[in-house]
Each structure stands twice: as C-alpha cells, then as structure tokens.
Structure 1
C-alpha cells in the first residue's frame, strides 16, 4: 500500500515515555520520519491523568494522538494511520498473507506477550526493586511459562525472516520491540531469550536501528 502525505501541522502524541504503547507509536513515527510533539500524560500520577484528558481517551489510557484536528486512541489504530497517512517506507506488507501474519503477531503481543513479558517479569523483577518495592516471586514464576510460549510462537511465525512478518520491517517488529526491550532487562528474560537464536539475531538487527537507539538513549 502506498502512503499518501497528509497535510497539516506535526501530530501530537499524548503519554509518558516509559509506556510500552507510547514507545510503539514513537518507533513508528520515527521509522516514517514524522516529527511529532509528545505531550506528557502520566496515568499513574497520584491523581491520575488530567481531567480533560478523558476527552481524548475516554478510558484514561495512553497513548492518544492528534493530527490536524483528527483524534485517535488505541495504539494499533494510531500506528496504522501513521503508516498510511504519511510518506516514508511502508510498514505493512502488501500481500494478504504477510499482512495477516503481521496482524497475528501484533495480536499475540497485546494479548499474551505484554502481560507476561512486561507486567509479569519486567515490572516485578526490575521496576519494583528500582522503586524499593519487593518483587513478587510467585508472579514472576507464573509469567515465565507463557513468556516462553510467546517467544516460541514468534520464532515459529517468523520463519526465515529476517523480520517477524517476512522480508521487510513491519508494524509487528515495532509493536513487539518495547516489550522485548523491557523483558531483556530482567535476568530471567535475557536468559530465556538467548535460547531462541533466530529471535536474538532479529533483536540485534532491530536494536541497531536509529529509532531504537533514540529510545535507548532516554533510559
């Protein structure tokens, strides 16, 4: 699918830099070469997000997005809009089967990888101790088996690659990247990931891209 450049001011992305889903949107914007204003919104602030934020996202989650008066929420809708509305390299395969594979991988990421890799492992093993909170060892132990299933599924669906949905970088790679990046910060995550050589090679290719390097520099 060819992208059509949409006229108007630079888009605005509402959310916090730590958020996996804000990071996904930022990666897609960076890969498309789209300048974007990020407006800080912390949903974990003591009083929650600003009251007027629910006009942008009625469920009070992040990110939300606006471009020339057009508002969106839900990361998948945002990233597909950015890919289709702006010039730059296409991030969705044109072939129906490859596009279906991309969407399948994104679905796996949202439904299974995010709860296990991020909340079950990274938050418990890395983020909580950084905030002087004890890790829930039972939660980590419970998250590791589904995390392994996620990695095995990704490796199988990836096939010969070199990217998750085939020969070219797609939204699937960028959707999973922040989840994998956080998972690898946990010793259990790094050890498990090393057991999937094809994924390790994929991550090395992805982590070397300027878009990923930009996020890494902010950590």
Structure 2
C-alpha cells in the first residue's frame, strides 16, 4: 500500500524546510519507507523494482542490465539537464508564468540534448521498448523527459536522427498510463 503526495516543484514546495529534511537536494522523487527517506531516481526506481515488481523491469542478462544503467545515466547526466532544466522550463514553464523564454539558453541546450538522444538511439534495440520486448527502468527514465520535451518545437530537431527513438516514443506514448498522464 502506498500514498502519493504531489510536490509542487514549480511553486517551491520542494524547497520547504519539511521537504528538505526528507531530501536535502530538494528534488523529486523521494520515497518514504517505514520512516526512512530514499531519494535519487535511480535508487528509488531500483528499490521499487526489487521490492514491488520482483525485478520485472530490470533485464536479467548482464549486458542488457548494463545498457539499462547506461541509458539511465545518459538521461540523468545529459538529456534531463538540457531538455527539462532548460528547454522545457524556457518553452513551457516561463511562458505559463508570464515570462519570455531565454532563446539563447534554449538554443544552447539543443546540441547537448541532441547528442544525448543520439547516444540513447545507439543503445536502443528498438522494438517495441528501448531494450527489446519488455519495459525496463530505462523506459521509465526516458518517458517523462519525452512527455514534456515532445511539447516543444525543439523536439523535432533533437530527435531528427533518431528513428528508433521516435518509433519507441510513438509506442510508449500510447501506453494507457501515459495516455492518462497526458490527458
């Protein structure tokens, strides 16, 4: 049994003293387990995969598991900062708050986002999920980034040379849970 608590990262809920006591970096996700707090996406997803899903979302063979972690690291280290922290914030959040996007920041983020997408493309098996026939934690890492990035004009440029990723996104975006989140 679990309860989900929304942390309003765009209105500062993640910088409250209460939240920072749980996660000193003020980021999401944070998972509370019997009064203990687990944060950092890799730690949370791997814990949930083992504790709840019986490792269903981690490949059993070592190379595929390493590829999964490689994709996770690329998303965390390169794609997320360029795509979400810059492009999505500037294209979607700043205008929603009455501001004007910083076009220089957006344009400077396109190349690193494109490099990251192309690196993931090279690691993608391509049918129907990133690592083959089964969903993995790597898919769960990339889905939210693409969910928001696909709402920006830069998405087409970033994914222009990634046919496997575009096909993956066409498939992943139709998953019932993603459809529900997107509605």
The TM-score, its normalising length taken from structure 1, stands at 0.75
1:148 corresponds to 2:148:
no
Equivalent residues, number: 183
- Distance in 1, matches of 2:69 and 2:11, equals 32
Q: Give the one of 35, 46, 60 matched to 2:26.
A: 60
- Distance in 1, matches of 2:13 and 2:128, equals 44
Question: 1:74: which partner in 2?
Answer: 40
How far the C-alpha of 1:181 sits from its partner, in A, is 1.3
**Alignment RMSD:** 2.1
Give unmatched runs, 5+ long, in structure 2: none
- Distance in 2, matches of 1:129 and 1:52, equals 29
Superposed, 1:7-26 pairs within 5 Å as: 10-11=1-2
Worse overlay, 137-146 or 205-214: 205-214
The TM-score, its normalising length taken from structure 2, stands at 0.89
How far the C-alpha of 1:102 sits from its partner, in A, is 0.2
Bigger RCO (CA 8 Å, 6+ sep): 1
How far the C-alpha of 1:56 sits from its partner, in A, is 1.7
Give unmatched runs, 5+ long, in structure 1: 1-9, 12-36
Question: 2:70: which partner in 1?
Answer: 104
- Contact 2:79/2:113 (8 A) holds in 1: yes
